[in-house]
Structure 1
Amino acid sequence: MGESDEQLAERLARQAGQILLDLRARGDLDGKALGKAGDEQANAMLCRELRAARPGDALLSEEEKDNVARCAQSRVWIVDPLDGTREYGEGRSDWAVHVALAIDGIATVGAVALPGLGLTLTSGAPPALQPANNPPKMLVSRTRPAAEAVFVAERIGAELLAMGSAGAKAMAVVLGQADIYLHTGGQYEWDNCAPVAVAQAAGLHVSRADGAPLRYNNRDTYLPDLLICRKELADEVLRVAGEYRPAS
């Protein structure tokens, strides 16, 4: 019997992560050049292996030319070979590899490798939720914290934590290092499909910032916003986020 979808996603996320670690350890590239080479090498492996293992499925990758014919298919693999290129190039640990399978628009299978931490989290075997932090901890971008997230944190008394990639932030909530990840600066499907699949499986709330469900395999792959948080905080976060009004 062959690999399950969950096993395939986990194996490929781990392998891509190892490619990226090995490339960085060579030491002959750094910064943007390292990020570009890492993206290319990890993506080539992921796309080759997915097409070989699941030839009947569609594929959407940040690093591949999109074919909108995928929209007519039920199953589409959505991958980000290197989420957090800046952090990877800077030698940090808060970057990730995303391998996800969306079925009929739903993030169904996901693996998020955090190679810098030696971890791979999956929808097939998510970790048990840890006790909530008190006060709650809320994740924001380390380079451009969203004004809406800062507003919500102030209103609910949350402590802000700055972190790199989307996958690293989402997995920090899964691991109990934080409680809320609200992103309103825009992402693409490959930025959050795998993290959403893992977060859902772990028992967290996932939605758009207005509470609407997240849908994948759209013709337009842009996703304006995202909320991943503990279920007991979701109603309050959504209410307060709805009160935010940008400064004119």
Structure 2
Amino acid sequence: MTIRDDHSLAGDLATEAGERLLELRARHGFEDQRALRDAGDRAAHVFLTEALARLRPGDAVLSEEATREERADPRRLSARRVWIVDPLDGTREFGEAGRSDWAVHVALWEDGRLAAGAVALPAQGRTLTTAKPPVLPEPAGRFRIAVSRSRPAEFLPELADQVGAELVPIGSAGGKIAAVLSGEAEAYVHAGGQYEWDSAAPVAVALAAGAHASRIDGATLTYNRADPWLPDILVSLPDLATTLLAGIRDLQSPLRKPNASA
């Protein structure tokens, strides 16, 4: 693997991890989905962490598949450079035959910002990177919001009605943000909670491409915190962000809640 810079490293690692996952999927088959998912999580984690230890030995790593003790290592919080990786985002979809909405995430958080990132979508044959950010599509005649397959926020149907949008369930967070960047959706809204590794890499690519990315109240997304839990996220084409943020704010206003005091 020839490494030129952090952007290229993120792309190369995500792509190779994805190729290994495709090989594992083909070799293992789908008869025992739980075993396939566990094997995929572990294999991609080992590959990425060993590669980063070899190629960027001075950097810290935060991985979904790390142990609780490894995640709690205080050295990560004071490190200048931290790789935030999700070895297999969309593990559920990875274990289902025919599904392509799973991904590999590799991001670099450096000096308080997302400095590089890549999202490999192996079953779709593509990797999105900050090395060459995708060109944002023009807003389509349809307004589509990518949402969680399993736990979409309760306010989303009303938000969709308010802004005239269609809700599109997609598996992994990386797949949903990639859909915004490729013109398959115009926004991604999630308020059911997730972790930093679920969004760091796709947000890095989205921001590099010029998309909007924030919390659903408009606050800046921050990473490498002691608690990696991230309650909510909004990624959209830039021209739609104001409309979506206003709609979400209106739907979450205490004045709209039946039990709110006057």
Scaled to the shorter chain, the TM-score interval is over 0.9
Question: CA-to-partner distance for each residue in 1:47-87, whole Å, 9 max, x for gaps?
Answer: 00001111111100000121232000111000000000000
CA deviation string 1:93-125 (max 9, x = no partner): 000000000112322211000001000000110
Q: Deviations over 1:27-59 (max 9, x none)?
A: 355312101100000100000000111111110
Amino acid in structure 1 at the alignment position of 2:175: A
State how many pairs are aligned: 248
Looking at structure 2, the residues matched to 151 and 81 of structure 1 have their Cα atoms a distance apart, in angstroms, of 34
Q: Which residue in the other structure is 1:38 paired with? A: 40
Flag structure 1 segments of 5+ consecutive residues without an equivalent. none
Q: Secondary structure of 1:35's partner?
A: helix
- Cα deviation, residue 247, structure 1: 7.1
Give the Cα separation in 2 of the matches to 1:2 and 1:165: 27
Deviates more, 1:109-118 or 1:2-11: 2-11
Aligned to 2:20: 19
Q: For the structure 1 residues 119 and 244, does the alpha-carbon distance in structure 2 shift closer, same or farther, using more than 3 Å as the test?
A: same
Larger radius of gyration: 2
The one-letter code of the counterpart of 1:72 is: S
**Which residue is equivalent to 2:193?**
186
In structure 1, distance between residues paired with 2:85 and 2:231: 18
In structure 2, C-alpha distance between the alignment counterparts of 1:104 and 1:181, rounded to whole Å: 27
Residues 105-148 of structure 1: CA deviation (Å, up to 9, x unaligned): 32221100000100000011012111212231111112222212
Q: Which residue of 2 aligns with 1:84?
A: 90
- Preserved contact between residue 205 and residue 231 of structure 1 (Cα < 8 Å): yes
Q: What's the RMSD between the two structures over aligned residues?
A: 1.4
Residue type of the alignment partner of 1:52: R
How far apart are residue 179 of structure 1 and its match? 0.4
In structure 1, the partner of 2:130 is 123
Gaps of 5+ in 2: none
**Paired amino acid for 2:18:** G
The C-alpha deviation readout for 1:201-223, integer Å capped at 9, x for no partner, is 11100101100001111001000
Q: Which runs of 4+ in 1 moved over 3 A?
A: 27-30, 245-248
Question: Counterparts of 2:123 and 2:258 in 1: how far apart (Å)?
Answer: 38
Separation in structure 2 between the aligned mates of residue 17 and residue 28 of structure 1, nearest angstrom: 16
Q: Quick check: 1:50 aligned with 2:52?
A: yes
CA distance in 2, matches of 1:167, 1:211: 20
Secondary structure of the residue aligned to 1:211 is coil
